[in-house]
Amino acid sequence: MLMILPVFFIIQSCSLGPVDANDGLIWQKDLQYPPCAGTEIHSDNLYFADESGTIYSCWIDSGLIKWKRRLNNESVRMIFITGSGLGVISGQQGGAAKTSTFRIYNFERGICVFITNLPWAIRDSYFSDGTNIIVHWPSGAAVLNGDGTKIDPYDLTQYATNIVTFAAWEGYYYAIEGNSSIIKFDRSMHPVRTFDSFTGSGYSGDFAYDNGRIYISTTGGVKALDTVKWDPVDIDNGTDPVLFNGASAGLVKRQSGPEDKYLLYSSMSFRIPPRGNSYSPLVQSGSLGIAAYIDPKGFINVVDSRTGYFVYSKFIGMIDRPFLKVSSDYLSKSVFIPLSSPAKIFCYSLKFAASQKMPGLPFK
């Protein structure tokens, strides 16, 4: 799919003009309410939801709405792709909800084809191991099969009480708690190892797995754990400035005064330390050799993914909440970013940004 055309058409609800086109904007869709659950792509369709409880499907090449569905007094917590359609987990608005509702809408027409109640308050983030979807609540996790209709829950109360993220890597499950401790489980969800050495630093950012190591952002900086030796890793010595894997996770080295600091990002928005009010996802295009993230002032910064050198920047807006997932088209030439302020979905050309690449200085 060619995302940048020689002739651009003006379409309703999208802001596209010659100046914007030259700046890398493909289209943007203004929203009445901020996005609340990131973006997902299936075929030629982009899916997202806003804080009013409305779920949208639109065409990725134009931003025109294909269908939308409004939930009654429910807040959308997450959306994800299943083999049966778009998976949506929601909870009742207001108060401390103790349950969730899981629905699947077919891709083409937005018809609900599956619905079930879940006796847990599912948290905002999820993980896909390539086959299953893994969701969690503070003291447990559930594995949804490929089409989403089979759910295997696991009560982990005796091992964890404040799980903030849950993932599967190299044949094991890993739970990260709010105090940054890490618990390793086998495929039957029996505990194998527990790592508590990071507990003095609260979980404050993102997590990533690369080559046998777990990287997590904490209030004490980015930490790393060797999952084989089960020992902490000193990332201040010998760590590449930019570290990426296939999940669009990256370790970015930036200079701040006399000290070097590392920031960790993924394809879902996470808090940028040390500030507590700035969130950013990471966008990677392997074919173009670039990566991009949003800084605390609302500029999308594009860097060379091999060297970390600055390439280009453009103001697009802010993200004010965690776990908003960005999506790229299948050639990773454009990206769809959910923005909180101003509330919109922003379709941006990474191909244009890469065209601005020239020899420069490392980003600081």
All domains of the chain in start order, with CATH:
18-355 (2.130.10.10)
Burial state string for 230-242 with b = 16 or more CB within 10 A and e = fewer than 16:
eeebebeeebebb
105 close to 121: Cβ distance less than 8 angstroms:
no
Task: Please indicate, yes or no, whether the overall pTM of this predicted structure exceeds 0.75.
Answer: yes
Is it the case that residue 79 has pLDDT exceeding 70? Answer: yes
Q: What residue type is 28 in one-letter code?
A: Q
- List C-alpha distances in Å: 163 to 112, 138, 178, 231, 241: 30, 5, 6, 21, 29
Query: Which pLDDT belongs to residue 159?
Result: 95
Per-residue pLDDT, averaged over 338-348, amounts to: 95
144 close to 132: Cβ distance less than 8 angstroms:
yes
| pLDDT tens string 84-137 | 999 999 999 876 778 999 999 999 999 999 999 999 999 988 999 889 999 999
Question: Three-state SS for 18?
Answer: helix
Q: Which residue's entry shows tokens 């890993």? A: 174
Per-residue pLDDT, averaged over 305-324, amounts to: 86
More confident of the two residues 41 and 266: 41
Q: What residue type is 90 in one-letter code?
A: S
Question: Three-state SS for 350?
Answer: helix
| pLDDT tens string 150-207 | 999 999 999 999 999 999 999 999 999 988 899 999 999 999 999 988 877 788 777 8
